[in-house]
Amino acid sequence: MQALLGVIFHFIGGFASSSFYIPYKKVHNWAWESLWIVGGIFSWLIVPPVAAWLTIPNFTDIIKQSSASTFGYTYLYGVLWGIGGLTYGLGVRYLGVSLGSSIMLGLSMVIGSMIPAVYYEFFPAEGKEGISLFFSTSWGLLTILGLLICVVGIYLCGLAGVRKEKDLGGHSDASGNKEFNLTLGLAVAIVSGMLSACFNFGLEAGKPMAIVANNLWKDLHPNEGEFLFQNNVTYVVILWGGLTTNFIWCLVLNLRNKSYRNYVDKKAPLLKNYLLCALAGTTWYMQFFFYGMGESRLGNGASSWILHMAFIILLANVWGVVLKEWKGVSRKTYATIVAGILVIILSVLIVGFAKELG
């Protein structure tokens, strides 16, 4: 039952992550950097401490009392992840929700799930899974199988994207994306996928803060389960790092493109734009809020990260269909993207079952 709850929480988090960019598509007369940083202020600066305040008492004291190395590495990984988050937005801009998310998050899933396991193989820590465990247990082998099957699904989604560009001649699709650019989008997506995995590394670095937060939660709520909101404090520090990277780059673009005028441009629907960006930013953060809840039921390891990423990839592709990003393509291309979605669903089921065995 705990594994089922974990899968459900990860599904909700995946839905939030795959849906957050939708409100941005309704923002009018603003440059990309303007809408991205306004939404990001909610994602990285406003909502995380509110969530921590609601769930973990005295969360600011936990941050203040953490060691310099814990805070420093958590923040550093946040800065690196911020570059991945910045390029994620560009990847969606050039590739669309469906194809962009599949490639970027697929890479992030593989790197983010495997590198910590390799690290803990050589530097063992209590409660951490080394890579050898995945090859010496039945649940570990099933997890690897689920990961490999998900990679196949990601490949199919990428193949569908290549066929889509060929079908449409590189032009805009029915979703209204006039900036579709496969070559530039793939370059950005590779950078994003590699650096986005740093978020998982930040969670590992911030574990001492999570332990203190969890102990406080248990003292106040002894009957409501452990680890439910343990990462909410760590998120605050990681996302400060993400804010640093994104704010600096968007400010540079604002000055270079003179798009800083967007924020007070009376020709734009200002109130609507600000509300849409706030909705997008808040929705984006909720992926991690529910990721922490899912992790509390499945454990902090490769299985949680794989499920989280797989659900985002799956639901992003569903959104791609809903938004007509695949309208006008050949039947063969459409069948390829559907096959990719189905394969990813299979991988999610396998990973969930593997964790139940574990």
Q: How far is CA 24 from its chain centroid?
A: 17
Burial class (CB in 10 A: 0-12, 13-18, 19+), 45: middle
Three-class DSSP category at 125: coil
What does the alpha-carbon distance between residue 127 and residue 284 come to, in Å, rounded to a whole number? 29
Which pLDDT value is given to residue 78?
Answer: 94
Residue 35's pLDDT is: 95
Q: Which two tokens stand for residue 324?
A: 């007509």
* pLDDT number for residue 178: 64
> Is the separation of the CB atoms in 231 and 210 below 8 Å?
yes
Tokens standing for residue 163: 């066929």
Please tell me the distance from the alpha carbon of residue 210 to that of residue 241, in angstroms, as a whole number. Answer: 17
Instruction: Look at residue 1 in the predicted model and tell me its pLDDT.
Output: 63
Sign of the four-CA dihedral 339, 344, 350, 352:
negative
Among the listed residues 21, 130, 137, 113, the one whose alpha carbon sits nearest the alpha carbon of residue 347 = 113
**Cα(207)–Cα(219) distance, integer angstroms:** 18
CA distance 281 to 291: 16
**Domain span including residue 350:** 2-357
pLDDT at site 66: 93
The number of folded domains in the chain is 1
pLDDT at 238: 95
Q: Splitting the chain (358 residues) into consecutive groups of 10 residues, what average pLDDT does each group show?
A: 78 88 91 94 95 88 93 94 79 72 69 69 70 82 85 82 74 58 75 76 88 80 65 93 93 95 93 96 91 73 70 79 80 88 80 71
Distance CA 31, CA 27 (A): 9
Amino acid at 345: I
How far lies 94's CA from each of 87, 101, 161, 173, 309, in Å?
Answer: 10, 11, 12, 12, 20
CA dihedral 62, 195, 228, 68 (to 10 degrees): -10
3-state secondary structure of 266: coil
Q: What angle do CA 303, 338, 18 make, to 5 degrees?
A: 50
pLDDT at 303: 66
Per-residue confidence (pLDDT) for residue 62, from 0 to 100: 93
Output the pLDDT for position 222.
63
For the chain, give the number of residues: 358
